[in-house]
């Protein structure tokens, strides 16, 4: 159907159009043209790390990082049960096994207190995901990793600009992996970036993302590698978006404050831990059960409002299905839904969404009380 209000759209200004047109005018199209180098430099500076390696997607960022760190068949990587499938897929693509850990209910993030019991002699890394833009408790995770000699890779696909104890996500571990898909806070259409302070890792990633041409003979290849490069047109769009990151984050946070005030007492609204500055990539609410969630989504859709469910946990996904239970992840997958969250969402649009949510619950209550729906 044609929605009046979409769940999450890119915010594109005249600046983005100008930068992309300048790239076209200068014939800057390939992955080795100046906009890519500039984007990597500026992104690293913004995140507060030495290196940023631009790639063609967030999924590629995760896979290449694991591969560059030597993750292979027989290895295990700890990932949250509650996440987007790209996290687990990146592990599987290396031939390794994703080992799932349940979530914190309040943030949806991996529960650090449950990680240690999942560590085995085959464990090589922990991949926490900053779910929906709220940072994980990285001090706890990094301490566990240090004690067991494990790598930590942040899946920061949803957390551009988020802070953990004043530091940017993507700067809190061995590497951080970002997605710039069209619905992210900043976008390059598709695209992704890996951030790191390791010179060695950055060098490996640079080689792996572009067929690993030899340093001494260009068409000489000693290693398996891929074409996962970012184009200059994507980078030009990203440069403009990056200049606007603070503005776009503040708009997301304003959306969250507005929704939370309007919906208080009606649904369960997201929280922000004392150590965190969440960017509220998606504004997610929770209701009492799956039936209510589905009913509310249908009602909003009938009124032209697009929503999304929360993630379906990995243990119920057909490709990762297991008998092991993850009660918090499973509950989140049943009771959560995302409201429209675009940075350019107007107060009028948010008021309309909130009014329809209230209308749904009022009608539901009237029906249960035996009163007319009208």
Mean pLDDT, rounded, for 278-294: 98
Name the CA radius of gyration of the chain, rounded: 21
User: Which of 183, 208, 243 is at the close of a domain?
Assistant: 243
Same-domain status, 106 and 43: yes
Number of domains in the chain: 2
Please report whether residue 61 resides in a domain.
yes
- List pLDDT tens digits, range 318-356: 999 999 999 999 999 999 999 999 999 999 999 999 999
End-to-end Cα separation, the chain, in angstroms: 26
Structure tokens at 312: 């379906």
Same-domain status, 189 and 256: no
Please report whether residue 9 resides in a domain.
no
Same-domain status, 63 and 181: yes
- List pLDDT tens digits, range 217-231: 889 899 999 999 999
Please report whether residue 6 resides in a domain.
no
Please report whether residue 374 resides in a domain.
no
Please report whether residue 1 resides in a domain.
no
Q: What phi-psi label fits residue 48: left (phi over 0), alpha (psi between -120 and 50 degrees) or beta?
A: left
Report CA torsion sign: 80, 82, 84, 86: positive
Of 67, 135, 123, give the one whose Cα is nearest residue 97.
123
Same-domain status, 22 and 64: yes
Percent above pLDDT 70 for the chain: 97
Of 300, 294, 304, give the one whose Cα is nearest residue 336.
294
Same-domain status, 184 and 128: yes
Confidence of residue 177 (pLDDT cuts 50, 70, 90): very high
Same-domain status, 236 and 280: no
Same-domain status, 259 and 300: yes
Rounded distance, CA 81 to CA 354, Å? 30
User: Which of 243, 263, 284 is at the close of a domain?
Assistant: 243
Domain that holds residue 336: 245-368
- Number of residues that this document lists for the chain: 374
Rounded distance, CA 138 to CA 112, Å? 9
Q: Residue 148 belongs to a domain with what CATH number?
A: 3.40.640.10
Model pTM score: 0.95
Please report whether residue 216 resides in a domain.
yes
User: Which of 208, 226, 243 is at the close of a domain?
Assistant: 243
- List pLDDT tens digits, range 68-99: 999 999 999 999 999 999 999 999 999 999 99
Could you give the count of Cα atoms lying within 13 Å of 158 in the half-sphere of its Cβ? 22
Q: Is the pLDDT of residue 122 over 70?
A: yes
């Amino acid at each position: 159907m044609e929605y009046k209000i979409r769940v999450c759209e890119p915010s594109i200004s005249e600046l983005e159009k100008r930068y992309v047109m300048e790239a076209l005018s200068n014939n800057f199209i390939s992955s080795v043209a100046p906009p890519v180098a500039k984007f990597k430099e500026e992104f690293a500076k913004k995140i507060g790390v030495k290196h940023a390696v631009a790639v063609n997607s967030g999924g590629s960022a995760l896979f290449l990082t694991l591969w560059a760190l030597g993750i292979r068949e027989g290895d295990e990587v700890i990932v949250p049960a509650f996440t987007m499938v790209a996290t687990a897929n990146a592990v599987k693509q290396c031939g390794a096994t994703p080992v799932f850990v349940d979530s914190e209910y309040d943030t949806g993030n991996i529960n650090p207190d449950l990680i240690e019991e999942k560590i085995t002699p085959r464990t090589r890394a922990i991949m926490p995901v900053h779910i929906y833009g709220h940072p994980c408790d990285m001090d706890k995770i990094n301490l566990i990793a240090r004690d067991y000699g494990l790598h930590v890779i942040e899946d920061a696909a949803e957390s551009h600009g988020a802070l953990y104890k004043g530091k940017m996500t993507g700067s809190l571990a061995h590497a951080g992996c970002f997605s710039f898909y069209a619905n992210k806070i900043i976008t390059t259409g598709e695209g992704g970036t890996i951030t790191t302070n390791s010179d060695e890792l950055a060098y490996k990633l640079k080689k792996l993302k572009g067929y690993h041409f030899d340093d001494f003979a260009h068409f000489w290849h000693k290693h398996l590698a891929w074409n996962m490069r970012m184009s200059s047109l994507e980078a030009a769009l990203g440069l403009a978006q990056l200049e606007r990151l603070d503005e776009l984050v503040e708009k997301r946070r304003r959306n969250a404050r507005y929704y939370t005030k309007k919906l208080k007492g009606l649904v369960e609204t997201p929280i922000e831990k004392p150590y965190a500055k969440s960017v509220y990539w998606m504004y997610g609410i929770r209701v009492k059960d799956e039936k209510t969630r589905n009913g509310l989504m249908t009602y909003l859709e009938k009124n032209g409002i697009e929503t999304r469910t929360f993630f379906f946990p990995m243990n119920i996904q057909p490709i990762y299905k297991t008998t092991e239970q993850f009660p918090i992840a499973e509950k989140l997958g049943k009771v959560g839904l995302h409201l429209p969250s675009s940075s350019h969402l107007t107060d009028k649009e948010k008021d309309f969404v909130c009014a329809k949510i209230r209308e749904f619950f009022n009608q539901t209550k009237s029906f249960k009380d035996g009163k007319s729906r009208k």
